[in-house]
Amino acid sequence: MEDRRLGLFSQLELKGHGVRRSTLLRWAMIGSASSKVSGLALQAVAIPLVYHSLGQHQFALYLLLTAVLSTISLAQMGAGPGLTQGVARAHAAGRRGDEAALMNAAFRLTGLGALVGGGVILAVIHLVPPGQLFGAAFIDDGAEILNAANACVFVLMAQLISGVVDSALAGYQEQVLNSVGSMAANILTIVLLILVCRHHPTIISLIVIGFGVPALSRLLNLVVLFVRRPHLLHGVFRSSRGFYAMLLNLGLAFWGIQLCSVLEQQSGTFILARLSSTHETDLFAIVYKYLALASSAVNVVTQPLWPAITDAIAHRDIDWVHRSYARIRRLLNIYSVSLALVSIVAGQWIFQKVLHVDTSGHYSLFLILGIYFVANIWTHLMYVTMMGMQGIWQAAAVLTGQNLLMMLIGILLVPHYGAARMAVAYLAASVVLPVWLLPRLMNRRLLAISDASQADASGASEVVGDAAEHPHAGVGKASHGARQP
């Protein structure tokens, strides 16, 4: 049975893999940018609205509860790069059975992870007194904390499991559907928050809206996915043996990358808080947070990129990888250098005059972090490219080494020099490891893929030549192959 495809995607299928891939990548980037804009609008509306409707104490409890409940995302081992890469390769090879089995395995693993993660979170909240878990100010809120956790943990489990849909669509390079669903969910969330906050705001209702609506949008995308690809439904009745190990292997590597990202974002502030003054800690945290916000804009380009690279490699389209990487690298270099110049030339003035943060005597902090920003964006692109080329474990190993080195240098320098030397630790760790090591690993990976592609092409030529010399044998072989399941 042929796929019942939507007209828009059906037209792309007729234009060839390269054109389809490039077009879907552009759509994904536009959709990702629009989704992030709607997400910013949601935050701009939700934070003051929820704060004023709940009050200061309840709002703080709401933030703490959502932070604890959100840790369930660490249990998402069945979705992510493993499913995306597996679906991309199976789709390129026309192995529909593998696509279905991968989806089945991902749902089962993520469901199991959600159950374990949800159980651990509930056990912690039930067994640890609220005064120890959230602080002395919330020692009398035990009943409300338990009620909210019991009701809301299932919503977060559903959101975790629904993440499989995002990863599957990324494997088909159709992230634009994720972005459309995310935009719709953000708009609906704003409307529901306004209604609830005006009439009867509670912590439970706000958490259900904030985490439940995105799960609903993914459920709709799942229905669309099954309608367009009904063969995926057959995975419910198929064995997924052999796919669990692959998903867990890549899921563990991606979990390591996520953990390293958290370390990179938080460890500098933590080290300064332990080893330096409050002023040095606050100054570094504020400047770094604004640069991190500028870095997150790059995800609009890089987040859809690595599934496209996976698809290109599955189709042995190495030239497309080189062209796309070079084009995006130029774009990101212009962006990072421009912001670095702003940080170096006017960063101190902006924070002093516009944000009213005392930066006297800290020009070196803006200079060093500006240079680090360029190195960070460059290495981020290489990390993403390595993920697309199935080098996620190598990327995770380099990123782990980079963060450990950064923390070591920071611990050595911060007690004597403060915030500027913490910035030196970030820059030095980037230059010592990923700036010189990642290009070598990436070129080695590309060379291996190119050699494999040429070997496949040579093998195909030999088969064609053999069939031309022995046509009857070729027909027999083809007939025999057609009878294979």
Other C-beta atoms lying within 10 Å of the C-beta of residue 40: 11
Write out the DSSP string of 435-476.
Answer: HHHHHHHHHHHHHHHHHHHHHHHHHHHHHHHHHHH-HHHHHH
The region of weakest confidence among 200-204, 292-296, 346-350 is 292-296
Report whether pLDDT(473) > 60. Answer: no
* Same domain assignment for residues 214 and 360: no
Q: Output the CA torsion 319→322→326→327 (10° steps).
A: 40
User: Can you give the three-state secondary structure of 119-132, one letter per residue?
Assistant: HHHHHHHHHCCHHH
What local confidence, expressed as pLDDT, does residue 336 receive?
Answer: 94
In a domain, 32, yes or no: yes
d(CA 416, CA 409): 12
Domain count, the chain: 2
CA nearest 255: which of 399, 125, 380, 119? 399
In a domain, 458, yes or no: no
* Same domain assignment for residues 171 and 310: no
Report whether pLDDT(484) > 50. Answer: no
pLDDT (tens digit per residue) in 46-85: 888 888 888 888 888 888 888 788 878 777 765 677 888 8
Residue pointed to by tokens 């709940």 = 54
Q: Output the CA torsion 125→126→132→135 (10° steps).
A: 60
* Same domain assignment for residues 277 and 237: no
* Same domain assignment for residues 109 and 30: yes
The region of weakest confidence among 124-138, 216-230, 459-473 is 459-473
Mean pLDDT of 341-352: 91
* Same domain assignment for residues 215 and 298: no
* Same domain assignment for residues 446 and 381: yes
Q: 332 falls in which pLDDT band (50, 70, 90)?
A: very high
Domain encompassing residue 136 = 7-241
In a domain, 374, yes or no: yes
Q: Which of 221, 241, 261 is the last residue of a domain?
A: 241
* Same domain assignment for residues 286 and 334: yes
* Same domain assignment for residues 358 and 290: yes
Report whether pLDDT(398) > 60. Answer: yes
In a domain, 468, yes or no: no
Tokens representing 345 are 């030339």
* Same domain assignment for residues 62 and 211: yes
CA nearest 136: which of 26, 228, 236, 61? 61
* Same domain assignment for residues 333 and 288: yes
CA nearest 20: which of 336, 419, 315, 416? 315
* Same domain assignment for residues 300 and 397: yes
**Which secondary structure element, helix H or strand E, spans residue 179, and what is its range?**
helix 175-199
Residue 388 and residue 320 in contact, taking contact as beta carbons nearer than 8 Å: no
Residue 20 and residue 88 in contact, taking contact as beta carbons nearer than 8 Å: no
In a domain, 106, yes or no: yes
Report whether pLDDT(151) > 90. Answer: no
In a domain, 42, yes or no: yes
Residue 211 and residue 254 in contact, taking contact as beta carbons nearer than 8 Å: no
d(CA 145, CA 183): 30
In a domain, 478, yes or no: no
The region of weakest confidence among 73-87, 180-194, 348-362 is 73-87
- Average pLDDT over the chain reads 83
In a domain, 472, yes or no: no
- Residue that wins the pLDDT comparison between 207 and 467: 207
Report whether pLDDT(275) > 50. Answer: yes
* Same domain assignment for residues 410 and 295: yes
Mean pLDDT of 143-151: 87
Q: 478 falls in which pLDDT band (50, 70, 90)?
A: very low
Tokens representing 107 are 């749902």
